[in-house]
Amino acid sequence: MADTAATTANTAHETGAGVPKRDFMKLLAGAGAAVGLGAIAWPLIDSMNPAQDVLAMSSTEVDLKPIVAGQAITVLWRGKPIFVRHRTAAEIKEAADVNVSELRDPQTDAARVQKGHDTWLVVVGICTHLGCVPLGNKPTDPRGEYGGWYCPCHGSQYDTSGRIRKGPAPLNLAVPDYAFENDTKIKIG
Amino acid sequence: MVGLHKSEFANPVVNWIDQRLPLFSMMKNEYSSFPTPKNFNYFWNFGALAMINLMIMVATGVFLAMHYTPNTAMAFDSVERIMRDVNYGWLLRYVHMNGASMFFIVVYIHIFRGLYYGSYKNPRELLWMLGVVILLLMMATAFMGYVLPWGQMSYWGATVITNLFSAFPVVGESIVTWLWGGFSVDNATLNRFFSLHYLLPFVIIAVVFLHVIALHITGSNNPLGIEPKGPQDTIPFHPYYTIKDSVGMCVYLTVFAILVFFAPNFLGHPDNYIPANPLATPADVVPEWYFLPYYAILRSVPNKLIGVLMLFGSIGVMFILPWLDTSPVRSARFRPIYRQLIWVFVIDCLVLGYVGAKPPQGSILLIGRVATAYYFLHYLVILPLLGKLERPLPLPESISQPVTRGGGPLPAGAAATPMEKV
């Protein structure tokens, strides 16, 4: 009986009439094993993603009241520094008057602040070049030629809208998701 | 002899590598075409199952270690965080936790297989002894792993077991202080247990490697306990035993899954969900189920030092088993008296396990003492004498013989020799 089955399989193989049953079974078993291994691997891989408690702490509230015009503070959100800057009228005008087409990463100032709250600039304080924290929040810090931020690592310079103007960084400082809960309080994340 | 290995592989890339590093030839010779006795029963699944279990433990353990904090102030909470917050953390921990129990179930059956079919006898003595080393390493690893969650049972288990060493005269106290890294089980102890718990599985892998090398030198034993006489008595490992192992693996994984998904804490002790408290010992401290027989032996002896020595001796006696059993016949199938006494021994171990779980009072204490005495009686008196007194049944001439000269007519196709078709 076993011999007969083997002969049939061989004939099918030689004449090329369809895929031999054994090859099909091997493919099926292999595919089943691959799916099974994937299903086993996924919980292991996913366990390395942010845990529920990390995600639960992923938003930060900032009270804007103590920040006077011209001053900026740094808050921590998801382990990253966030710059919250209270801009002066001159700084806003300077940022708005720039010819957008000249910028490396063209973006209007209005697109980087929230409507009606253009005195407040909120950006992720991480240089888009290689991840250093730019200077410019403390009064004694250098702010670069454009009055925004200056990265001490490789000399990238950002303007009062946090846009890249000079130096090796390719992109503007990122604007995180945030919302005004009221006029003096924002929630980041 | 210097020179390239002669590779038989057709694929040029495989061939090129194989000539320089004959891994593919090794895998083929040791796992694919490896000649294996053709009469294995399902007891021969358990070596492969133990290997799978070891891999599951290492994989889940590595990922658990990414979230665990080995500090007395944070260990318990970090385990609870794994259970509640880490993605699939509950699964990783329950698989790891029940995996330890599954590992011991598999290994105990594997050991029983060895005892029943005489797999420890000449020429497989060293193979057996390496297995006992693996068992000892497993016990150390499991014990230290159980301490890591820093629950009440973790803490008091660690205290009791490390205190065993205080039984040794003169140096005992110094050894215990050295083990603790302080004057009680504390942060230093937890830290080193975590370090060693991560290290020992890799030592186990190394010894398993030696175990497998030794196995492939002597070849596997089989249910008849006689050596294959030639190619007619063996079949290639693949596909015949890879398939048979896969069937066993499905059953094993089913049992494992039932434990993990439906009764994850069935084999654990609820007190280990109470954070460790150095000032309050739980009402009864019991080890995990797989240590209960040894624990029963320890408690059966009124003298502290002798109790500890007998505890270690209960494993130590397994090292010299190949020389204690004087019978030249391996398989219990042909040893009418041993065949019954091996079951008495199994029952004795189960009784010890039962006694280990109960408070050592009254009749339980008496039963424990009788069972402990019988445990050592079996190894040290019965086995050496039985080999001389027992009259074994006649052994078959070969592995094939009982099949081909069996009672009924030959089944269709049985006349074809399997080797010719491969």
- How do residues B74-93 score in pLDDT, each as one tens digit? 999 999 999 999 999 999 99
Distance CA B344, CA B383 (A): 13
Q: What's the mean pLDDT in B184-209?
A: 96
Smallest Cβ–Cβ distance between B59 and the set A3, A44, A52 belongs to A44
Higher-pLDDT residue of A18 and B107 is: B107
CB of B358 closer than 8 Å to CB of B284: no
Q: What's the mean pLDDT in B404-416?
A: 46
Smallest Cβ–Cβ distance between B89 and the set A2, A47, A54 belongs to A47
Q: What is the dihedral of CA B364, B367, B368, B372, to 10 degrees?
A: 180
Residue B343 Cα to chain centre, angstroms: 19
Cβ neighbours of residue B101 closer than 8 Å, sequence gap 6 or more: B259, B267, B288, B289, B290
Other beta carbons within 10 Å of A56: 10
pLDDT > 70: percent of chain A: 90
DSSP state of B1: -
In this structure, which amino acid lies at residue B385? L
Q: Provide φ and ψ at A131, rounded to 5°.
A: 90, 10
Smallest Cβ–Cβ distance between B63 and the set A47, A51, A52 belongs to A47
Task: Tell how strand A80-86 and strand A120-124 pair up.
Answer: antiparallel
Q: Does domain A54-188 sit in CATH 3.90.1300.10?
A: no
Question: Where in chain A are the domains?
Answer: 2-46, 54-188
Distance CA B383, CA B393 (A): 17
pTM above 0.90, yes or no: no
Chain B positions in Cβ-Cβ contact with residue A51 (cut-off 8 Å): 67, 81, 85-87, 89
Distance CA B248, CA B43 (A): 9
Tell me the pLDDT tens digit for each residue of A48-106.
998 998 888 778 889 998 888 888 899 988 888 999 999 998 889 888 888 888 889 99
Q: Which helix (H) or strand (E) covers residue B177, if one does?
A: helix B172-180
For the cut 50, the answer to whether the pLDDT of residue B355 exceeds it is yes
* Lookup result for tokens 């454009």: A146
Q: Would you say the ipTM is above 0.95? A: no
Closest among B143, B147, B151 to B189, alpha carbons compared: B147
Among chain B residues, CA nearest to A7 = B421
Sign of CA dihedral A75, A81, A84, A87: positive
Classify residue A13 as exposed, middle or buried by CB count within 10 Å of its CB (0-12, 13-18, 19+): middle
Q: How far is A78 from chain B (nearest CA, A)?
A: 16
Smallest Cβ–Cβ distance between A47 and the set B88, B416, B421 belongs to B88
Q: How far is A21 from chain B (nearest CA, A)?
A: 17
Distance CA B350, CA B348 (A): 5
Residue B415 at interface with chain A, using a CB cutoff of 8 Å: no
**pLDDT confidence of residue B420:** 39
Q: How far is B417 from chain A (nearest CA, A)?
A: 12
Q: Provide φ and ψ at B60, rounded to 5°.
A: -65, -35
CB of B296 closer than 8 Å to CB of B366: no
Distance CA A134, CA A131 (A): 9
The yes-or-no answer on residue A154 being catalytic is yes
Q: Please enumerate residues of A whose Cβ is less than 8 A from a Cβ of B.
A: 1-3, 6, 43-44, 46-49, 51-54
Among chain B residues, CA nearest to A57 = B85
| CB spacing of B87 vs A51 below 8 angstroms | yes
Chain B positions in Cβ-Cβ contact with residue A6 (cut-off 8 Å): 421
Other beta carbons within 10 Å of B397: 11
Cβ neighbours of residue B73 closer than 8 Å, sequence gap 6 or more: none
